[in-house]
């Protein structure tokens, strides 16, 4: 690691409700089965904002950021799948590859990932790679990508190929990967389907693109802001509904002649859950993608759900080893265009401002931070 600086800068969340602040700290080193990346771009995701606001419990102080593209600059012991200088993208789910879920092909449910990373802020050995200058530990949300360098298990690292800029490649690892799992596995969107997407932000934009790529005949985007609906049309939505001025349920039923085959809820609010379930046609599927606040619940009309055979499906990302290569292939082949999802760029120094803008609803699509 002689060419790698001994220290780096990162955006630190000191405590829930605080603003991110830039700190200098020792550059982390990869252990066995891990790689060190020079971060070239990191997406600004609403899930990070939930952690910042304290809506999702997570240890602090911490470094967030879980959607990144970068360059391999160091390899831990036993890593031979990559070489120094490789351009890569990461998945926000970093599977252990060994638990019963991973072995059965359900890396989206990897038990050590949730137990160690999402609850404790560590990697699989139970420790974090991040330390402050005084030696105190910083928790890692996924690979802690809001920094100049990041360590991640090699199981979540994928070659991104030539021609895909890092600012666009970064969003493949969360926004598009999350959408792919929802559209392919949970929603099972097929040619001719009518699809409704509630929430036209970063993940919603990716759901729109993928639904069209998988053959949906109608893709109806629903949001409260005309700017986001304009972007939804640019991403392939055939129809848009501004829920601030029109009844979204009646609009979807009218446009589809009864209801959507698949409804994706990409916000995580009780009100939009209820609306989404009312939009589903008989025998259709409601796919919940948006993360709610701590302890959030939603009402479900039991009898209609039973009699009309409506499926309610949770979806948290995809199946890493199989789905990330397919996501990258779709982007490389031009079947999806992540560049249409990325609308703003921030420097690492402006990380706090990026999340403040996201909270105010000023980010259309996806913003990325370029260290």
pLDDT in tens, the chain (371 residues): 448 999 999 999 999 999 999 999 999 999 999 999 999 999 999 999 999 999 999 999 999 999 999 999 999 999 999 999 999 999 999 999 999 999 999 999 999 999 999 999 999 999 999 999 999 999 999 999 999 999 999 999 999 977 899 999 999 999 999 999 999 999 999 999 999 999 999 999 999 999 999 999 999 999 999 999 999 999 999 999 999 999 999 999 999 999 999 999 999 999 999 999 999 999 999 999 999 988 899 999 999 999 999 999 999 999 999 999 999 999 999 999 999 999 999 999 999 999 999 999 999 999 999 99
* Nearby residues of 3 by Cβ (< 8 Å), 6 or more positions away: 73
Q: Report yes or no on 31 lying in a domain.
A: yes
Q: Report yes or no on 319 lying in a domain.
A: no
> 239: number of CA atoms within 13 Å, CB side?
18
Q: Report yes or no on 251 lying in a domain.
A: yes
What distance, in Å, lies between the first and last C-alpha atoms of the chain? 20
Are 277 and 352 in a shared domain? no
Range of the domain at 162: 7-173+341-370
Q: Report yes or no on 334 lying in a domain.
A: no
Q: What is the CATH number of the domain that holds 245?
A: 3.40.50.720
Are 140 and 224 in a shared domain? no
Q: Report yes or no on 300 lying in a domain.
A: yes
Pair of tokens at residue 342 = 């990325």
pTM for the full predicted model: 0.95
**Cis ω on the peptide bond leading into residue 79 (within 30° of 0)?**
no
Q: Report yes or no on 364 lying in a domain.
A: yes
Q: Identify the residue whose tokens are 């292939």.
A: 329
Q: Report yes or no on 183 lying in a domain.
A: yes
Q: How many domains does the chain have?
A: 2
Are 271 and 358 in a shared domain? no
Sign of torsion over alpha carbons 20, 358, 140, 155: negative
């Amino acid at each position: 690691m002689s060419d790698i600086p001994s220290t780096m800068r990162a955006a630190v969340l000191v405590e829930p409700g605080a603003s991110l602040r830039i700190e200098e700290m020792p550059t982390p080193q990869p252990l066995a089965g891990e790689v060190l990346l020079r971060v070239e771009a990191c997406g600004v995701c609403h899930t990070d904002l939930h952690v910042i606001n304290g809506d999702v419990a997570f240890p602090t102080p911490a470094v967030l950021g879980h959607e990144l593209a970068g360059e391999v600059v160091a390899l831990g012991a036993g890593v031979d799948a990559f070489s120094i200088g490789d351009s890569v993208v990461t998945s926000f789910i970093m599977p252990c590859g060994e638990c019963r879920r991973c072995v059965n092909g359900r890396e989206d449910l990897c038990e050590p990932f949730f137990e160690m990373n999402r609850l404790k802020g560590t990697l699989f050995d139970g420790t974090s790679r991040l330390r402050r200058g005084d030696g105190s530990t910083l928790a890692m949300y996924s690979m802690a990508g809001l920094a100049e360098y990041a360590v991640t298990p090699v199981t979540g690292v994928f070659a991104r190929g030539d021609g895909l800029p890092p600012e666009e490649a970064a969003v493949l690892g969360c926004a598009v990967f999350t959408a792919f799992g929802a559209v392919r596995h949970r929603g099972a969107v097929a040619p001719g389907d009518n699809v409704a997407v509630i929430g036209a932000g970063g993940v919603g934009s990716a759901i729109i693109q993928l639904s069209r790529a998988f053959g949906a005949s109608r893709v109806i985007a629903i949001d409260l802001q005309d700017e986001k609906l304009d972007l939804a049309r640019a991403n392939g939505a055939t129809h848009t509904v501004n829920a601030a001025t029109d009844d979204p349920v009646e609009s979807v039923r009218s446009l589809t002649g009864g209801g959507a085959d698949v409804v994706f809820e990409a916000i995580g609010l009780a009100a939009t859950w209820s609306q989404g379930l009312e939009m589903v046609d008989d025998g259709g599927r409601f796919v919940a993608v948006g993360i709610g606040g701590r302890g959030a619940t939603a009402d479900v009309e039991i009898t209609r759900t039973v009699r009309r055979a409506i499926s309610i499906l949770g979806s948290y990302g995809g199946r890493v080893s199989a789905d990330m290569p397919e996501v990258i292939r779709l982007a490389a082949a031009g079947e999806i265009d992540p560049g249409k999802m990325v609308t703003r760029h921030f420097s690492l120094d402006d990380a706090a401002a990026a999340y403040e803008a996201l909270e105010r609803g000023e980010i259309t699509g996806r913003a990325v931070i370029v260290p």
